[in-house]
Structure 1
Amino acid sequence: MIVLVANLGSTSLKFKLYETSADESLTALASGAADRIGQGGSAWKVSGSEATREGQADFADHQAAIAALLAEMPAVGFGDSSRIDAIGFKAVHGGPISGAVRVDQDVIDTMTSFSDLAPAHNPPYIAAMKAFAQLLPDAWQVAAFETAFHQSIPMARQVYGIPYDWTEQGVRRYGFHGASNAYIARRMQQIRPEAKRVINLHLGGSCSACAIKAGQSVANSFGTTPQTGILHAARVGDFDMYALLKLRGMGLSVDDVLSQLGKQGGLLGISGVSADMRDVQKAASEGNERAQLAVDAFVESCRHYIGAYAVALGGVDALVFTGGIGQHNIRIREAVCRDLAFLGIRLDETTSAGADGNAETLVSRKNSDVEVWVIPTDEEQVVARQTLEVLAGSASAT
């Protein structure tokens, strides 16, 4: 069986194609990616067994990117995309739906009803499900929801200080980036089984921190929605809801405020330059004070959660950087780890500067009590296995 796993960020698209063998191992056949979707100048790349093709294009939305990348599959040696048997989606918010499920109209309707809580994620995934249904009508679809990995978080860290009947109606901290955190948790158990207390920083267009104890999530920086926590590319991060009173007094409606917080916040909102950290850092290096403030605020939000989760875990054995910024942005890693020796975190700046962001690399000093790692996440592998489990269950039930 050939499974395509689609991983859609708020401004990005990645996919991997896997083939399963009799021993249930996964063999990667091809991959593709596009960034800056909806921002202009998207860099895209498709790799297969025979070739790699890449270029730049202006993808107006995720649907346009999907169609373009699938059209490149024959040229890289995969053949026609109709060979694909199933599509697994790293879905974000399904409200009461957790884990991995077959995509049907009820799932799409539920995701649609929760789009107000995940406006940067659910709409692209819903559009992608519809686009793939048109492009690959015979392929099964599975949604693997991001909240599943965080079911182990203690209830005291899930609840808000709100009337309890609101909690019973589903207003609580769900946690997201579940596939990424699940992969890092499992990978750390494989390469450093003695590291029981891990803080994972997934930093990219969407950002989060996760406290992992003995392979299980015990805290996550996201809340009811993926808007909260660490400063994001264009989403607000942590925010005092009572500021709405001030904003309404400025003539903004609630819808206006929520739209701007979800699309014009984060790095973009503070810097006024871009939602892309690379652009913001470039502007900061050229003397743009707001751009420098955006970088500093981003770093501080990461450090805030490191401190909080060191307490939640009762200490730290390993700090992991993953995601586009975490894996590839040397200056951000240095700034986040600066002056954290009191927590036992000592970054080897030379090793970090020379690290290949696409390879697992230990970047802490030899005298660091806490190991600092750069580990490329593989959310697609996690979702591929979840997809196969759902399809196997569906087949046995028929």
Structure 2
Amino acid sequence: MRRPVLVLNCGSSSLKYRLVDVAERADVASGSIERIGSSASRFVHRDERGERSRELGIGDHAAAAGAALGAFDPPLSGRALLAVAHRVVHGGTSFTGPVAIDDGVVVQIRALGTLAPLHNGIDADVIDVARRALPGVPHVAVFDTAFHHTLPPRAFTYAVPREWGVRRYGFHGTSVAYVAREAARVIGRPPEELRLIVLHLGNGASATAVAGGRSVDTSMGLTPLEGLVMGTRSGDVDPALVEYLERVSGLSAHDVDERLNSGSGLLALAGVSDMREVHRRIAAGDARAELALDVYCYRIRRYVGAYLAALGGADAIVFTAGVGEHDAVVRARSLAGLAALGIRVDDARNAAHERTISPPGAEIAVLVIPTDEELEMALQAARLTSA
């Protein structure tokens, strides 16, 4: 009898869940709860009987987890689960791979909330609810930062006083691990032989240099704020910006941090955080939106160039996540002007959203690989539990 893995994936105001048949790499059931904390949270559940949705008030992630776990018919308690996989954003230096959850692990996850205050606490809350509801099932934590534990010191070290105890951690690791392995399958070569630049472009965005299946550099840092321009995050800025704004505008460090995370990026440049709306405004002649797209793509192009240097070349550049998978304009503009480096995009293939969007025989392949973080979580949990 096949035993599925339940995957619970928390966002700051959402919870996605999937019951995955790992052997078939297929969903048995899935669902999501959005706008957690609102009086009109949207709850969608899908199974063999179809999709059902409703709006209801869900005050916090613990309540959302309880609602998700109770949505299954027959109940989860009767399904002989192999494991429950939990996404945890920050593992610090303590967790470099998936781990079986016990009380001590939950304490450590909460303690690491100083590095991810918007995420680790709610991750731990959901873990607590699920462990109480499914006490006889192994629970596994899968960390966003874990894939990047292979960063060499030259890549993770900041040139700041050692006593500050800060370093680069990187994020989107679960997505990058899955996409890098899928890219190797598309290319038809072992991951150990490849040098890849993975561009995870969603509302959050990051670039990662992958050599031999291992992360060797990544754009996000101590927190997910550093690096590329994102939906509401600034990406790279001069750190002196904080003190400057305190001096000239009276903003506190907390105020600036909040604006850099929630009021910057495309939202600050174009007035909207969704790239689809940016394109609509460009079509209507909005110069601010045109500049926002230019800045967004230019920042990506800079990181591609930097990671070509870090890797000593590349076998492929891989686009993934919402914008990366669906936005042909961003893909083309992000790699424009790089033909001298062996990087070209075939316009017809790109417009058709093919898996390979570089011309035949290109020196560096350009790929579009849909990410599947929940499947990767299920696979990691299954491997750990089976071992």
TM-score relative to the length of structure 2: 0.85
Kept in 2, the 8 Å contact 1:117–1:226? The answer is no
Give the 3 Å change call, closer, same or farther, for CA 283–91 of structure 1 in structure 2.
same
Letter aligned with residue 268 of structure 1: L
2: CA distance, partners of 1:299 / 1:233: 13
1:173 is aligned to: 168
Aligned pair 1:92/2:94, yes or no?
Answer: no
Residue aligning to 1:189: 184
Q: Do 2:183 and 2:369's aligned partners in 1 also have CA atoms closer than 8 Å?
A: no
> Does the Cα contact within 8 Å between 2:115 and 2:222 map onto a contact in 1?
yes
Counterparts in 2 of 1:126 and 1:189: CA distance versus 1, 3 Å: same
Alignment map for 1:200-239 (pairs within 5 Å):
200-239=198-237
Q: Which residue of 2 aligns with 1:376?
A: 370
Residue number in structure 2 paired with 1:340: 338
| Deviation at residue 204 of structure 1 after TM alignment | 0.8
Is 1:19 the counterpart of 2:37 in the alignment? no
Is the Cα–Cα contact under 8 Å of residues 208 and 217 in structure 2 kept in the other structure?
yes
Alignment RMSD: 3.1
Matched, 1:32 2:31: yes
Residue by residue over 1:256-291, the C-alpha shift from the partner in whole angstroms, topping out at 9 and shown as x without a partner, is 222222222222233333x32223332333333333
The residue that corresponds to 2:299 in the other structure is 301
What's the CA shift string for 1:131-165, capped at 9, x where partnerless? 54566565543211122222222211111111234
In structure 2, what residue type is equivalent to 1:371? A
AA in 1 matched with 2:251: L
Change (3 A) 1:224 1:201: same
Contact 1:9 1:205 in 2 (8 A): no
Match of 1:326 among 324, 327, 338: 324
- Segments of 5+ residues of structure 2 without an aligned counterpart are none
Mapped pair 1:80 → 2:79: no
Distance 1:226 1:2 in 2: 31
d(CA) in 2 for partners of 1:343, 1:39: 49
Alignment check: 8 A CA contact 2:89 2:145 kept: yes
Matches within 5 A, 1:253-292: 253-273=252-272, 275-292=273-290
Q: Give the Cα separation in 1 of the matches to 2:38 and 2:240.
A: 31
- Report the residue type matching 1:388 in the other structure: A
Query: Does the aligned pair in 1 maintain the 2:90–2:112 contact within 8 Å?
Result: yes
Q: How far is 1:245 from its partner?
A: 1.0
The alpha carbon displacement at 1:201 in A equals 0.4
Contact 2:183 2:367 in 1 (8 A): no
Structure 1 residues 311 and 59: CA distance shift in structure 2, 3 A: farther
- 1:107 maps to which residue? 105
Indicate if the aligned counterparts of 2:113 and 2:121 stay in contact, CA closer than 8 A: yes
Q: Provide Cα deviations, 1:175-229, integer angstroms capped at 9, x if missing partner.
A: 2211111112222232321771211101112211111112221111111111211
In the TM superposition, 1:347-362 aligns within 5 A as 347-355=345-353, 361-362=355-356
**d(CA) in 1 for partners of 2:161, 2:143:** 27
Instruction: Rate the CA distance shift 1:302–1:49 in 2: closer, same or farther, 3 A.
Output: same
Corresponding residue for residue 3 of structure 1: 5
Matched letter for residue 127 of structure 2: M
Is the Cα–Cα contact under 8 Å of residues 179 and 371 in structure 2 kept in the other structure? Answer: yes
CA distance in 1 between partners of 2:56 and 2:359 (Å): 41
Question: Distance between the aligned counterparts of 1:287 and 1:35, measured in 2?
Answer: 33
In structure 2, C-alpha distance between the alignment counterparts of 1:64 and 1:38, rounded to whole Å? 10
Residues of 1 paired with 2:341 and 2:142: CA distance? Answer: 35
Aligned with residue 141 of structure 2, among 127, 140, 143: 143
Is the CA contact (8 Å cut-off) linking 1:345 and 1:371 kept in structure 2?
A: yes
C-alpha distance 53-137 of structure 1, shift in aligned 2 (>3 A)? same
The superposition leaves residues 343-379 of structure 1 with CA deviations (integer Å, 9 ceiling, x where unpaired) of 21211222222227xxxx1111225321111111122
User: SS of the residue aligned with 2:185?
Assistant: helix
- TM-score using structure 1 length: 0.83
Aligned residue pairs total: 378
| Runs of at least 5 residues in structure 1 that lack an aligned partner in the other structure | 394-398
Identity of aligned residues (%): 39
Code of the residue aligned with 1:391 in structure 2: it is T
Q: Secondary structure at the match of 1:150?
A: helix
- Distance 1:130-1:355 versus aligned 2 partners, 3 A rule: same
> In the alignment, which residue of structure 1 is the partner of 2:380?
386
* CA separation of 1:73 and 1:327: change in aligned 2, threshold 3 A: farther
With 3-12 and 227-236 compared, the bigger mean Cα shift is at 3-12
CA–CA separation in structure 2 for the residues paired with 1:136 and 1:142: 13
User: Structure 1 residues 272 and 100 mapped into 2: Cα distance closer, same or farther (>3 Å)?
Assistant: same
